[in-house]
Structure 1
Amino acid sequence: MNEELLINADECYRHAEHKAAHYFKSLYAQVLEKTYVPSLTEDIRSWKHNHIHHHSLFSFFSRTKGNPDSHGYHHYIQWLKYTGKLDNYLNRSISYIFMRDLSKSLDSPETLRRIDRVVDSLKNHLSHSTSTNQGAKDETFSMAGLYRIAQKEGVESSLIWVINKLKTVSSNIPKGMDAEQAQRKLIKIIAGVIMQEVEEMNDKTPPEERSRRLDSAIRLGFSYGLTYPFIDDLLDAKILSEEEEKQYSDLIRTTIITGEVPDLGEWEGNNVALIEYIHAELRDAFMYIKNKQRQDTTKNFFEQSYVFFNSQEVDRVKDLSNANYTNEDLYIPVILKSSSSRLIVRSVIGAPEDKKLDDRTFFYGIYNQLADDFADMFDDMKDGAVTPYTYYMKYHDKRLDLINPFEMYWTVISNLIHNVYDSDRKTCEVILDRAINGLKRFKVRMGIKKYNEVMELFATSNPKFNRLIQEMVRKADDVDFFDKLLRDHIITILKNNRREQEDFINTSKTLRNEINHILHIPQMEDMSLMKEPILDAANYSLKGDGKRLRPIVTWFMGINAYGLNKLAIIPLLRSLEYMHTASLIFDDLPSQDNASTRRGRPTLHEAYNVAISELTGLFLTQKAIEEQTSLDQFDSKTVLKLIQYSAQTTANMCRGQAMDLDSKGKKLTLNQLNMMCFYKTGIGFEASIIMPAILAQANELEIEVLKKFARHAGIAFQIKDDLLDLEGDSTLLGKPIGKDAENNSSTFVSILGQEGAKKEMWENYCIAMEALQELPRNITFLKHFLNYIINRDR
């Protein structure tokens, strides 16, 4: 370890600590003198005229009927539009974000103009999203929507990268930590870094430079954000042993002090695999940030990082059973960690120094931290964490010298309004909105009884001021914020998506097992004395480790979407897998792709011979038609229509395979490849979706929309296959990789390159996902099927 750097780090922390101590001393004096009481009393009396409304009888009924729970995202936005409150709601929300995340002063005309532009853009987006299909299926936070935004900005590759990273991080969050909260924090930090970068640009920034800087901001945001789940949250979660925590903290400290990530070395503990993964991810993230730093910003980045980490460590090792912490012990680390966490963001993107902005960031941080600690006080108490609130809860009756953190909170608010933001009226409005909203949310979450107990415990020494605050909590309207609504909405989406995806995967596994049991073709009675190589070969092929995607999708469509009888569609499930297996047998033949392995076993012509393989493929196509004729619980004309469609599908799949063979050694255009891919692969997916729709006698418009979805889902599937042949794991795939290049096949990778193929996959993903919005029914499983297609590893 470089001793000189260690001394500099300690000096840096002492300097930051001295500045925080000076700030605390100023706040402490205001707490003792109760200066916040007269100033905020006057502020609140002026403020409440815009928030205490006397409702008429008509407005009372309309308010009772129309003021919904804000957890209903789309419904709540519609209610705000209906009542004419949306403009003010968005304005205070965006103003708050400009103060909190960008450290802007609201008395600047340029800042106000920028806020107005963001509000107008957001209002247009919300008006569109809540009116499309009545907002029923618009997710707001959808991968397709984000990708479309990324396309406009020219940063598709970085979005694809960060989506894959978020998926990997989520899957590696250990039990005991909240994967959805980890994702939300990462998304929030990425958004915050992007906002900072956008703020550093202007309308004159060339598009190419804008794309380059946004690409860097996305990757920097993820790299910095990764420290929250994998350092802060991990150390707080008590997943590591004490020895592991110390070893891990020392590793992080050494990295920040030396600017180099040390090797992990011998890890003592039970979490070796987890730490190896985290070490690799954080090493890459750290080196990316470091390499992006300008020479004149590197020092500031390391200093802020050290202050942030060390202040967290100081707080983390505190023991709630220790009754001897001073007020300085409790508040100075809070000031440091809350300000440095935001100052780092500017240093991460290499923003130029701005003393006024940095000072506002420094003074503002404790306000957010005290608000968060208030909201989390009971969880923190349960975890034994030392915060100003938990410590006061435990020792207020024994330690009369302790500052009441609720009084400190209002002191910070008064100080911000009058000493930091020079009594600016809009700043006062936004900060008071936020403070009262925080108490109202806490009251709803905890219940009136618990809330009153908390307020009694933390009551300030001025009863009149206490009554004023509680009057505002009871009566004030229009103090809610969009970022809170969006946060709750994103968490709901992430949790719902995870639950639905798990349900989809679990149901698919169950169905796969059930389908495996119905595929076996029994021996014909009159042939029982003779060996039947074709039958044996067919069952050999059907027994392979297939995904059974097509019959699974058909089951979901038939049962979930159209309510068909489960037993009635069993012949259709067999039919689809017979058709698909036949296509694979032909595809693997020496005269075609000449594959040696399929579904983890030797291909049929390797296990038997070419002649038997050809006959077995033909046999299975005819068995598929035979199964379709067994759909005797459906109208005969409907079944005839299905068989006609099936025959056309089989013919088109043959055309696709012929196109594929003819393309060997030729360089196809993208349009030619799309056409070949659809006929060869996509049409099989189309059949699995359309056949149950035919049996359900769906109208032609709906069938056309389903065909559009299937076409692009099928192309996305084929592109993923091409990518897996390049970058997949042959053990998971059940076949060797690199066959496309060996066969000189035209693929999306060979035509577009690896990055281009990924973009084309996402383009087809978006078109397919957008097609779902046109359906007259909400077919959620198709969304998860599509997500499975692009996220699968086999």
Structure 2
Amino acid sequence: MFTMNKELIYDTDICYQQAEEKAAQYFQSLLTQVQQKTFVSVLTKDIQSWKHNHIHRYSSLTFFARKKERTGYYNHIRWLDYTGKLDPYLDRSISYIFMRDLGKALDSPDTQKRIRQVVDYLKNQLTQPIKTEMFSLAGMYRWGQKERIESTIIWLINKLKTVSEIIPKGMDAENAQRKLIKIIGGVVMHVTEEMDKEISPEERSRKLDEAIRLGYSYGLTYPFIDDLLDAKVLSEEEKKQYSNLIRTTLITGTVPELGEWAFAIEDMIRPIHVELREAFEYIKDHQRPDTRKSFFEQSFVFFHSQEVDREKNLSNPNYSNQELYLPIILKSSFSRLIARSVISAPEDEGFDNRTFFYGIYNQLADDFTDMFNDWEDGAVTPYTYYLKYHQKRKDLINPFELYWTVIANLIHNVYHSDLKTCEVILDRAINSLKRFKERMGTEKYNDVMRLFASGVPKFNRLIQKMVRKAADVDFFDKLLRDHVITMMKNERKEQDEFSNTIESVRDQMNRLLPIPKVEFHDSIIEAANYSLEGDGKRLRPIITWVMGVNAYGFHPQAMVPLLKSLEYMHTASLIFDDLPSQDNASTRRGRPTLHQTYNAAIAELSGIFLIQKATEEQASLDQFDAKTVLQLIQYSSRVTESMCMGQAMDLESKGKPMTLEQLNTMCFYKTGIAFEASLIMPAILAQVEEAEMTALKNFARHAGIAFQIKDDLLDVEGDRVLLGKPIGIDAENNRSTFVSILGPEGARKAMWEHYCLAIEALQDVPRNITFLRHLLNYIVNRER
């Protein structure tokens, strides 16, 4: 063992031995019950009573309605509400969470009252018209505003982005992030339930802030320790090296240096190590002296039991039942015990006991669900081991029978035959089998049952009847889990499509933009092309292309003149902005500004030239109705006027303090109006309804302001190399910005407020607006 730090006075051998002894006593009790098959008579009686609430006769109309219920998250919620089933659905779901995650006894009047409050709140939330997706960035931020923890949510959004970027390839990124979010939610629930009813709003906000940061810090152990060590990303030798880092940390209370790794692996591990170190230090700093020892002991038992389990090899035929099950009891219970100790909650013997006995139930259910994936990975679980050795090892416990034994033990020995607990646990058990059968198919499911339920045929027939016929056993957390995973997978796919679209259209624009040279004003065209050839983002024409081609169905070639005109107008505005008489900028798009390369006069003429070229291109839109094109040119002229007014306001404001309202107006004219044009011009050509025009303008206004705020933040905090221009220009020019008026934190809050308003404006756009949502994400997360 490693040398102990004086701050952490605990002996790891004794610590784990004591936990293992307690697990062995529990296991021996279960072993006796499973050998005697006492669960059969006990649960048969329970199920006979339980089934009266779950076996119904359905009309053909109801059957059709039940088919409709499974068409998605929101449809399912609406169906439950319409049929009057939403209330009991939420009640069993929240009851289960209080029992599983919070370690509560459901027969407690206080717990029943609290469950009712949560159900009522959640039902109200779920049946309200959808303004923002609850688990989207906008939904998270709106919740943060309500709880007055906006800065915490911004911190969390940035952290989740970091995690997404550094999860190694070869790992299940969506599941890793889902588990992280789930842990954060679990810690927040624990903190919320521990709060005094008379807590002040300020103290509530402080506690929620701490809970989110603690939840994130503890939750990182799942993607970056458990999942990483389970994945095939590291070699066996590298896994040992990484595991020793974690072990040393838990024993000494100090995160060791990363040490030497192969170059490619170190490049992957280093940012993970940095993130874990920061998380560990945060947890350690927020532990009370009287709970710190308990936290580290629980963490060590959790980690070591995982390691013991992880090191098993499916080719070894000699593991005893105790070797198979004791680590499972420990890791499944201690993972939940930590969720409470990480917040330094006071000791609660009832919680500790219930949680210790409960953990294996969830683990056996999860291992059953994942048995074929585990089999393919060569992982040792009670199910995979039984699959391989049940014919050779008659002494092996059937894990399916142990599962039902645990259920009977929980209902009658841990929760004292409480009817509500019996109802919820049986609901969950039958629902798990239903989901497994649906996923595997009837034939494979029956094969599994023939093996694992062969020792209790009569009981199995009863269970299978319930699986076929029982209704109203589904749970909100399962629906939510599927919804979140689907969202994350769709998000990743859409993000890839967004990035591909950006790059594809950007490449096309770069080829289309250069203006052919003519002899009589060659120098002006050369100068204009110099500005056009810079490393521009081309966002405005890209937006127009997506809306025109994808939303309105225009032929890409018909859109080319409009795309060129938008970039000509934008580039002209940058040329004027950079002039000595205005911002006097020295660098633009990664190279010297136009007036630095040529001179101010040529720059001014090039800007005018590009504006005229933009008008010429718009007049070339010959595949659209002439009156509509004329309307577009008129609109374009008004946009140019507004941009001039915005720049004039900017110049007049130099050295003068501005109000936030003035700054919002100015930046809309300078930036937002250009975003508006990129949306409204194709909408004009498509002759859309006025309501859609209004929604697009609202979106553009808020997206444009968010863009400008991000620019202001980058001018203070950005990387000069990534930006392609110097930072600190605004301060040097003594210009009012969102950062100078609101401060960096206030500016970030304002940016996310406009982000939310822009997202909400999209609700009124009756088309596929996925690209615009990802555009907003790009705007607030970009680094240039």
Contact in 2 for aligned 1:194/1:221 (Cα 8 Å): yes
For residues 257 and 66 of structure 1, the distance between their equivalents in structure 2, rounded to whole angstroms, comes to: 54
1:95-174 residue pairs with structure 2 within 5 A? 95-129=95-129, 139-174=133-168
Question: Is 2:397 the counterpart of 1:412?
Answer: no
For residues 710 and 259 of structure 1, the distance between their equivalents in structure 2, rounded to whole angstroms, comes to: 51
Map Cα deviations across residues 434-455 of structure 1 (whole Å, 9 max, x no partner): 0000001000111111101111
SS in 2 for 1:67: helix
Q: Which moved more, 1:86-95 or 1:564-573?
A: 564-573
Residue number in structure 1 paired with 2:638 = 648
Residue number in structure 1 paired with 2:744 = 754
Residue number in structure 1 paired with 2:206 = 212
TM-score (normalizing by structure 1): 0.97
Contact in 2 for aligned 1:170/1:182 (Cα 8 Å): no
- One-letter amino acid of the structure 2 residue matched with residue 577 of structure 1: E
Map Cα deviations across residues 363-397 of structure 1 (whole Å, 9 max, x no partner): 10000000000000111111111111111111111
1:241-260 residue pairs with structure 2 within 5 A? 241-260=235-254
For residues 63 and 343 of structure 2, the distance between their equivalents in structure 1, rounded to whole angstroms, comes to: 46
Residue number in structure 2 paired with 1:54 = 57
TM-score (normalizing by structure 2): 0.98
What fraction of aligned residue pairs are identical, expressed as a percent? 70
User: Which of these residues, 597, 608, 616, is aligned with residue 587 of structure 2?
Assistant: 597
Residue number in structure 2 paired with 1:331 = 325
How far residue 141 of structure 1 moved from its aligned partner, in angstroms, is 2.1
Residue number in structure 1 paired with 2:23 = 20
User: Which of these residues, 709, 716, 723, is aligned with residue 733 of structure 1?
Assistant: 723
User: Which of these residues, 29, 34, 41, is aligned with residue 32 of structure 2?
Assistant: 29
For residues 162 and 187 of structure 1, the distance between their equivalents in structure 2, rounded to whole angstroms, comes to: 10
For residues 166 and 238 of structure 1, the distance between their equivalents in structure 2, rounded to whole angstroms, comes to: 23
How far residue 460 of structure 1 moved from its aligned partner, in angstroms, is 5.0
For residues 254 and 391 of structure 1, the distance between their equivalents in structure 2, rounded to whole angstroms, comes to: 31
Contact in 2 for aligned 1:304/1:343 (Cα 8 Å): yes
Aligned length: 781
For residues 176 and 129 of structure 1, the distance between their equivalents in structure 2, rounded to whole angstroms, comes to: 39
1:277-676 residue pairs with structure 2 within 5 A? 277-459=271-453, 461-524=455-518, 527=519, 532-676=522-666
How far residue 751 of structure 1 moved from its aligned partner, in angstroms, is 1.1
Q: Which moved more, 1:78-87 or 1:678-687?
A: 78-87
Map Cα deviations across residues 14-65 of structure 1 (whole Å, 9 max, x no partner): 111111111111111111121111111100000001111123xxx2333234
For residues 521 and 201 of structure 2, the distance between their equivalents in structure 1, rounded to whole angstroms, comes to: 71
For residues 264 and 144 of structure 2, the distance between their equivalents in structure 1, rounded to whole angstroms, comes to: 41
Note closer, same or farther for the CA distance 1:693–1:457 as it changes in structure 2 (3 Å cut): same
Residue number in structure 2 paired with 1:677 = 667
Q: Which runs of 5+ in 1 are unaligned?
A: 133-137
For residues 66 and 226 of structure 2, the distance between their equivalents in structure 1, rounded to whole angstroms, comes to: 41
User: Which of these residues, 760, 768, 779, is aligned with residue 778 of structure 1?
Assistant: 768
SS in 1 for 2:361: helix
For residues 202 and 697 of structure 1, the distance between their equivalents in structure 2, rounded to whole angstroms, comes to: 58
Note closer, same or farther for the CA distance 1:321–1:484 as it changes in structure 2 (3 Å cut): same
User: Which of these residues, 179, 182, 198, is aligned with residue 173 of structure 2?
Assistant: 179
Contact in 1 for aligned 2:69/2:79 (Cα 8 Å): no
How far residue 203 of structure 1 moved from its aligned partner, in angstroms, is 2.7
For residues 145 and 352 of structure 1, the distance between their equivalents in structure 2, rounded to whole angstroms, comes to: 32
Q: Which moved more, 1:724-733 or 1:159-168?
A: 724-733
Contact in 2 for aligned 1:67/1:79 (Cα 8 Å): no
For residues 287 and 665 of structure 1, the distance between their equivalents in structure 2, rounded to whole angstroms, comes to: 44
For residues 574 and 765 of structure 1, the distance between their equivalents in structure 2, rounded to whole angstroms, comes to: 28
Contact in 2 for aligned 1:653/1:680 (Cα 8 Å): yes
Note closer, same or farther for the CA distance 1:201–1:143 as it changes in structure 2 (3 Å cut): same
Question: Is 2:3 the counterpart of 1:2?
Answer: yes
SS in 2 for 1:662: helix
- One-letter amino acid of the structure 2 residue matched with residue 340 of structure 1: F
Q: Which moved more, 1:738-747 or 1:333-342?
A: 738-747
Map Cα deviations across residues 342-379 of structure 1 (whole Å, 9 max, x no partner): 00011111111100111111110000000000000111
Contact in 2 for aligned 1:70/1:485 (Cα 8 Å): no
Q: Which runs of 5+ in 2 are unaligned?
A: none
Contact in 2 for aligned 1:106/1:112 (Cα 8 Å): yes
For residues 250 and 129 of structure 2, the distance between their equivalents in structure 1, rounded to whole angstroms, comes to: 44
Residue number in structure 2 paired with 1:793 = 783
- One-letter amino acid of the structure 2 residue matched with residue 52 of structure 1: I
How far residue 122 of structure 1 moved from its aligned partner, in angstroms, is 1.1
How far residue 3 of structure 1 moved from its aligned partner, in angstroms, is 4.3
Contact in 1 for aligned 2:93/2:477 (Cα 8 Å): yes
Residue number in structure 2 paired with 1:228 = 222
Map Cα deviations across residues 288-308 of structure 1 (whole Å, 9 max, x no partner): 111011111111110110000
For residues 326 and 425 of structure 2, the distance between their equivalents in structure 1, rounded to whole angstroms, comes to: 22
SS in 1 for 2:13: helix
Note closer, same or farther for the CA distance 1:71–1:29 as it changes in structure 2 (3 Å cut): farther
How far residue 462 of structure 1 moved from its aligned partner, in angstroms, is 2.4
For residues 762 and 320 of structure 1, the distance between their equivalents in structure 2, rounded to whole angstroms, comes to: 50
Note closer, same or farther for the CA distance 1:378–1:6 as it changes in structure 2 (3 Å cut): farther
How far residue 775 of structure 1 moved from its aligned partner, in angstroms, is 1.9
